[in-house]
Structures are given as structure tokens and as C-alpha cells.
Copies of this chain bind each other. A is one copy, B any other.
Amino acid sequence: MSKLATKDIIVEIADQLFYQQGYQHTSFADISNEVGISRGNFYHHFKSKDDILDAVIQRRLANTEKMLNDWQEDEQTSLEQIRCFINILIMNRAKIKLYGCPVGTLTTELAKLDHPSLIDANKVFSLFADWLEKRFLDLGQKENAKELALHLLARSQGIATIASAFQDETVLYREVETLNEWLTTYS
């Protein structure tokens, strides 16, 4: 029982630290200190640091998929479902202010490292993009549903980047409002 738990805890802690400190800047010592296990014990659960990164990405993919499904079940209209996506920025504003968007900052880092896991990390973006595309299709945007999805993705990325750079929430609130007004055009 605790076998799986320990492994899951490692991934959970690594997920947080990779987000807050970046992948490179997070060492095994950091993770093991936080988890409370010895440094050497790591390699019983994972082959390498890259292996942990892969596990973290898989975890994020699963969590994202679950979140999107929940929104689909909880909200009635496609418009309200899309607003759930926009609302992440408000919900996570405190962390975004400090560390930016978890998805965007990881892909940015991996791109610069020319890291092979960039492809997998991008799948989180793709999950959002595909899901948003379906909502826009449902709103009758047959021609440019994919374009609108990527546009919304880009807008939210920009908001997170600026809010993090200036460590400021007011620009985040204002831009989210602008984004919601933009969305009204497609209702």
C-alpha cells in the first residue's frame, strides 16, 4: 500500500517544486528533503531525474483531463464551460503571480534545454486546445474553432507571463475581464 503512496508523494512534491523552482533548479536533495526520504532511496522508485519529470507530466495530464471532464459535467452550456477555463487565472492568481503558468513555464524551460520531454509537456496544452475547440464548435464556430481555442490559450499565457513578471494581480483581473468580454462575442 505505502509502496504506491511513497511514489505518488514523490511525484506530487516534484510537481510542486518543478513549478515553483523550475526543473533544472530543483535537485534531488530538494525533493528528498521535502518528501522526508533519503536521497539514495530515490532510485528504487525512479531510474533518473528525467524519469521523475515524465511521471510529473503524466500526473499533470491526468489531472488536467479530470478537471476538463468535471467542468463538462458541472456546467450546462459550452460558454460556461469555457469560462471555467478563463477562471483558472483568477483561482490560481496567487501562484501565477509568483511562478507563472505551470504549463507555459515548463514548456518554455524544456524548449531552451532542447529536452526530449517537451513533446509530452506540450500534450497538456493540446488537451486544453482540443477541449476548447470542441466548445467553440458547439457555439457554432465551425470555421475557426481551432483558431479560437489557440487564441484563448495564447491570451491566457500572456496574462500569466505579465502577471508573474510584474508580480501583480490587478493586471490579471483586468485582462480576465477583457477576455470574458471577448468571449461574449461568440455566445
Contact = CB atoms under 8 A, between A and B. Distances in A.
Interface string A60-97: 00000000000000000000000000000000000000
A161 B166 contact: no
B158 A161 contact: yes
Interface in A130-177: 147, 150-151, 153-159, 161-162, 164-167, 171, 174-175
B150 A162 contact: yes
A84 to B, nearest CB: 19
B165 A158 contact: no
A80 to B, nearest CB: 23
A171 B158 contact: no
Interface of A: 20-22, 24-25, 98-100, 104-105, 107-109, 111-113, 122, 125, 147, 150-151, 153-159, 161-162, 164-167, 171, 174-175, 178
